[in-house]
Amino acid sequence: MKVLVLGSGAREHALVRALTQDPEVTEVLVAPGNPGMVDEATVLSSPGRIDDPEAMARLAHDNSVDLVVVGPEAPLVAGVADAVRARGIACFGPSQQAAALEGSKAFAKDVMAAAGVPTARARVCRSVEEAMEAFTEFGAPHVVKDDGLAAGKGVVVTSKLTQALAHAAQCLEREVAPGQAPPQIVVEEFLDGPEISLFCVTDGTSVLPLAPAQDYKRALDGGRGPNTGGMGAYSPLEWAPGDLTEQVIERIAKPTIQEMARRGTPFAGILYVGLALTARGLQVVEFNARFGDPETQVVLARLRTPLGGLLLAAANGTLAQHPPLQWSSEHAVTVVVAARGYPEGPRKGDPIEGITSAADAYVLHAGTAHAPGGGLVTAGGRVLSVVGTGPSLEQARRAAYEIVAKIDIPGAHHRSDIALAAAEGRVFLPNQENS
Ligand code: AMP
Ligand code: GLY
């Protein structure tokens, strides 16, 4: 099987790595990829834009691939999976209409309500006045979400009303192109509790859950600083309820998938269920329509089932016949090394030195580029994702941080508390400071 992966982050590097370990996969191609992938995959030069459906469908066709795996959300929301399938090529990733579960938070809330999925009470607001009413209704801390895709930066959680209003105004007063729908936001009640990410592989009917992971969204240690795309993750979650996966399947994933099918827009791909474990039980924080980054780095580090066969079964609608998934009993931790200025304004072009690996740790690339004179430079906010594995969470942490300590990028930063609380038997709350 020849597989084309779309994307260039550490998530895609993890996908590429796992696919190359599948004996049924004969070749992995990647577009646009990154310098870290050249030993494992064919990095296609000049592939075109990955959110251009026709260009990606042509690329898949011209390279005679058997399966396309779409990494990020933007191509899905743009309709890349539809265009690939229209050429008769299998594609792992939902259709444009189904990807609205991630592309519009208001749509996701509507589906959740129809499916009876437990989630925060919410209001869709089209003016600052409406937002103000919702802030009063739900009280502080305030949760304000840009309706559309915002690369992990559209959500503000704050106890300061002025800050909540400012974010609402910033989202609502944005210019939109003629013919586009006016901007809207979702204001919702604050969900208090540790967060869990659970990826459900689905073909639109059957569901196979992957192992749960925890992501660290805030930029700084202790859950401080702005939200980011994710600064680190670990798996498994020994503190999570024993019936977590079953609850998610029965109360969240299946009802959602049934509701999407009922609407005539079946959802196939990854239903990423972002959860908060609150005093009133599991609540959905968000849905995404793809693998999470950086959770994928730790989930795939533990998956022993060949990935290509699993994704092809989901793409072909044969997941019900797929054997149960096999997992390593090891723990995995990933630490993201971010460029100076991330997330506000990451600096590009800084030299990257000191990338090494060990028996129990390796470096996945994200925002890296070849320097003109040789070597590597930073080319994005999240630069590297260092993965450590081990028989205990503490050993997996140590394996990752030993490699992180050797990496030298001027001004780069990382969190030093990834998986720390869990390794010490404490539960980690994501938002220590709501400002
Ligand atoms: P989202 O893009 O919806 O995942 O939101 C990004 C992050 O904001 C989440 O991972 C949470 O840490 C936080 N967040 C989102 N919604 C809520 C909520 N209702 N209550 C508390 N935190 C939230
Ligand atoms: N790690 C969060 C996300 O992928 O959206």
Q: Is 22 in the pocket of ligand 1 (CB under 6 A)?
A: no
Q: Which residues contact 12 (CB under 8 A, 6 or more apart)?
A: 5, 6, 30, 33, 34, 37, 71
Determine if ligand 1 sits within 6 Å of the CB of residue 188.
yes
Which residues make up the CATH 3.30.1490.20 domain(s) of the chain? Answer: 123-188
Burial class (CB in 10 A: 0-12, 13-18, 19+), 357: exposed
pLDDT digits (tens, 9 = 90+) for 2-57: 999 999 999 999 999 999 999 999 999 999 999 999 999 999 978 899 999 999 99
84-117 pLDDT tens trace: 999 999 999 999 999 999 999 999 999 999 999 9
Q: Which of 138, 142, 145, 155 to mutate to test the pocket of ligand 1 (most atoms within 8 A of CB)?
A: 155
Reported as a single tens digit per residue, the pLDDT across 71-83 is 999 999 999 999 9
Quick: pLDDT tens for 304-352.
999 999 999 999 999 999 999 999 999 999 999 999 999 999 999 999 9
CA distance 104 to 119: 16
Domain 2-92 has CATH 3.40.50.20: yes
Query: Residue 367 has what pLDDT?
Result: 98
Neighbours of 54 (CB within 10 A): 13
Ligand 1 site, residue 430, Cβ cutoff 6 A: yes
- How far is it, in rounded angstroms, from Cα 241 to Cα 325? 20
Kindly indicate the confidence band of residue 433, based on its pLDDT and cuts at 50, 70 and 90: very low
The Cβ-side half-sphere exposure at 409, using a 13 Å CA radius, reads: 30
- Reported confidence tier of residue 434, pLDDT bands at 50, 70, 90: very low
Q: Does the pLDDT value for residue 174 go beyond 90? A: no
CA distance 214 to 207: 21
Which pLDDT band, with edges at 50, 70 and 90, does 435 fall under?
Answer: very low
User: What is the number of other CB atoms lying within 10 angstroms of the CB of residue 21?
Assistant: 15
Rg (C-alpha) for the chain, rounded Å, is 21
Look at residue 221 in the predicted model and tell me its pLDDT. 96
Residues of CATH 3.40.50.20 domain(s) within the chain? 2-92
CA of residue 155 to ligand 1 center, whole Å: 7
3-state secondary structure of 4: strand
Q: How many A from CA of 430 to the centre of ligand 1?
A: 9
Model pTM? 0.96
Reported as type and span, the H/E element at residue 72 is none
Record: fold of 123-188: Dna Ligase; domain 1 (3.30.1490)
**pLDDT at residue 150 in the model:** 74
One DSSP character per residue, 126-181 reads SSHHHHHHHHHHH-SSEEEEESS--TT-SEEEES-HHHHHHHHHHHHT----TTSP
Which ligand 1 atom lies nearest to the CA of residue 285? 16
CA distance 209 to 322: 12
Choosing from 105, 153, 198, 272 the residue with most ligand 2 atoms within 8 A of its CB, the one to mutate for a pocket test is 272
Residue 288 CA: which ligand 1 atom is closest?
Answer: 4
Residues 187 and 138 sit within 8 Å (Cβ to Cβ): yes
